[in-house]
Amino acid sequence: MSGLAGFTDNPFRDRSDLLRAAIAIVKPLDQYRSKFKARVKIYPSTAAGFDDVASQLEGFARPLWAISALIDKDTDPSLHSWIQGIEAGVDPGNTEYWGDLGSFDQRMVEMESIAFALLMAPHAILSLLSAKSKRNLGQWLQQINRFNMPQSNWRWFRVLVNLALAKVLDADKEKARQAMDADFEVLDQFYLGEGWSSDGVWGDDRKQADYYSGSFAIQFAQLLYIRCAEDDQERVAKYVQQALEFASEYWRYFDINGAAIPFGRSMTYRFACGAFWAAFALADVESPNSPISLGTAKGLLFRHLRWWAKQPEIFNPDGTMNIGFTYPNMYMSEDYTSRQSVYWCLKSFVILGLQADHPFWTIEEEPHPISATKPLKALLSSTLLKVIAPPHHILCNTPEHHYLLSSGQMTTKKFKAREAKYGKFAYSSAFGYSVPTGLELHQVAPDSTLAMSLDGGETWKVRWQPVDVRIETLHVESLRGSDDLPVIASTWRPLKNLSLSIRTTLVPLSSHYQGWHLRVHHIKDLGTADSVPWSDSVELVDSSFAIRALTDEGHHIPSISSADDSKITEGYTVEASSVLIRSGSGASGIVDLTPLIKWKGAAHEGVPTLGGQGHLIAADPNTNLITQRTFISSIRYSHKFVAGKGSTLISKAPPSIILATGVFGVSNATTCPAEITAFWKKRPGLEVDMTSSNDIRIKIL
């Protein structure tokens, strides 16, 4: 039987519901706790990149995000056993000692929740610790100041530890302040504007602004600092302002049904995506000038938890939580993910730190900011589409599909599937994203990205490390009128030793062509691929969203003869230049618009083209975060170099090619089958002006 009583049957309406959910999540860990209660190791176990003692510490420390709010108010011995665990864990003479620290040590991460517990329930915890245990705890935490840390969100863990040392454990306040100031100097360099911080300095080594920027780490920690460091008035005031700025747009990452858009690494932390809203309320940063009221924050958090309550497969039969997203999935995990890591999800339960009589618990839950304004289909593009400049995202909060367009993020760190987690063109709360399982195209599972092969499809390179990122505006004229829409463009070089480059412009069109966005690829120096000794061809695959490939009964969805039948809800159609897939998830499609380009100017004459063909990818099982079996609609462009290298038109100057792909995605949440058919038939057109300098100007028709 799937699910977890107390969570998957939880309405998430009031404080008692959250208490019941927190206890339901933590209780199954009891069977895996060690003799002295300092460690948790779930069986069957899997390994992480750090030592096993640190992963067992994860199992103890991460539940404290919820438990720390209960210790001060409950005499249940099972809750006080967590204090016993602290005593054993910090005692060097105990067999369950958590261990001495070293540089870049995972124990530094786990100190954050211990510091939070001390800051939230100091009297309750200290009253249960002996004098010796208090000294041991202080000495163990002090180690964090003696070792190197990465220049990333980790710096916040040390700030909160030093805050707890100074406020609760009577450490040298001046030394703690000096250590905090040194870390603040680093953290301040991460700030990008509009409330956003990158996870590390934004530069050539990394360009990351994901959930670590908000709910997982940085904004979350800043909100805890606001709550617990009231004496630091200047910095607290700065963080309050940043939180209000961040909140004013962060709601866009959540759909009306509560689902968040999966993006970036560590998505196995699941409903930690909503932790910002919990900490936002905990810190009492509501402002009368902010579009996000306390009731709005409550609605965003509770709807998010209710969405997760509908995902029963996140739990094992023994009640523990598995690694994955909506189902068990090791492909999407990180090298730092242990069986215990997933309990960072409990960051969203810090809201339990609010007293039972706090207005948060009785205030009316307000609707999503989009649905609160006016009928969805009457909203203007300026409301539905929003550029979030710091992370280089365009958020599309449209009635038929909630997704974002992305260009510009990357990291040189060897995170697993980093190309999939940061390098795709689009990320969707309805369709998730896919990660690779192997080298074949169906194993690469290249949804919402561009893949290139120079060896006949034996190996594939997917879009990664974009450069020259620009956010611009593009003029659109349609039956809905004229408009200037935000677009985001970037350049990808598939092979560093070739001058071959692909500049892609992403155009969100949902406010004019419902369900659609456009990709225009400007390929330069493709002829240089002809110089690669082992290459006799080039293939490009441009793909739409991955979508559920099974019927509601569990069979594969069938092939159907026409995409125009408005009564069909399940099936796929592959045509010469398009693919449409329909299933219980909604619809995903793609069409090659290149032959329909209206050219302007004479510079384009003689420019070669690549033949595009509709292609359905039956992705490897368990590649997608949300759905176990998926199909991916794609256009496969190809060109074979003829015998005699350099003899083809494609190899001659000017080697410039334009490809235009219409990408279609509609979720099943608010759209009926007849509407999907109508949206699919109404396709955008475009006009391209190629200048004498080999640049292009695009106009949507």
- Tens digit of each residue's pLDDT (9 = 90 or more) over 100-113: 999 999 999 999 99
The strand order across the sheet containing 598-600 reads 571-574, 578-583, 586-592, 656-667, 516-524, 501-508, 481-492, 467-478, 696-700, 686-690, 598-600
Q: Which residues pair with 472 in a beta bridge?
A: 487
590-646 pLDDT per residue, tens? 999 999 999 887 556 655 678 899 999 999 999 999 999 999 999 999 887 655 444
pLDDT confidence of residue 665:
98
Q: Tokens for 682?
A: 């109404």
Q: What is the DSSP letter of 169?
A: S
Q: Tokens for 119?
A: 């800051």
pLDDT confidence of residue 644:
47
463-515 pLDDT per residue, tens? 999 999 999 999 888 777 788 999 999 999 999 888 999 999 999 999 899 99
Domains, the chain, ordered by start: 15-361 (1.50.10.10), 376-467+481-516+536-700 (no CATH)
Segments of 399-536 assigned E as strands: 401-406, 410-411, 426-428, 450-453, 461-462, 467-478, 481-492, 501-508, 516-524
Q: What is the pTM of this model?
A: 0.96
Q: What is the mean pLDDT of the chain?
A: 93
334-363 pLDDT per residue, tens? 999 999 999 999 999 999 999 999 999 999
Proportion of the chain above pLDDT 90, given as a percent: 81
280-306 pLDDT per residue, tens? 999 999 888 888 999 999 999 999 999
pLDDT confidence of residue 72:
66
pLDDT confidence of residue 646:
45
pLDDT confidence of residue 375:
56
pLDDT confidence of residue 280:
98
| pLDDT surpasses 80 at 73 | no
Distance (Å) of CA 196 to CA 61, 159, 199: 27, 19, 10
pLDDT band at 649 (very low <50, low <70, confident <90, very high): very low
pLDDT confidence of residue 640:
77
- Pick 381 or 253 by higher pLDDT: 253
pLDDT band at 537 (very low <50, low <70, confident <90, very high): confident
Q: Report the distance separating Cα 631 and Cα 616, nearest Å.
A: 7
**Averaged pLDDT, 659-678:** 89
For residue 111, give the nearest of 71, 57, 36, 151 by alpha carbon. Answer: 57
pLDDT band at 571 (very low <50, low <70, confident <90, very high): very high
**Averaged pLDDT, 445-464:** 95
pLDDT confidence of residue 457:
92
Distance (Å) of CA 167 to CA 175, 225, 230, 452, 471: 13, 12, 11, 56, 45
Q: Report the distance separating Cα 177 and Cα 181, nearest Å.
A: 6
C-alpha R_g of the chain:
26
- Pick 534 or 234 by higher pLDDT: 234
| pLDDT surpasses 90 at 371 | no
**Averaged pLDDT, 212-235:** 98
pLDDT confidence of residue 89:
99
pLDDT confidence of residue 653:
35
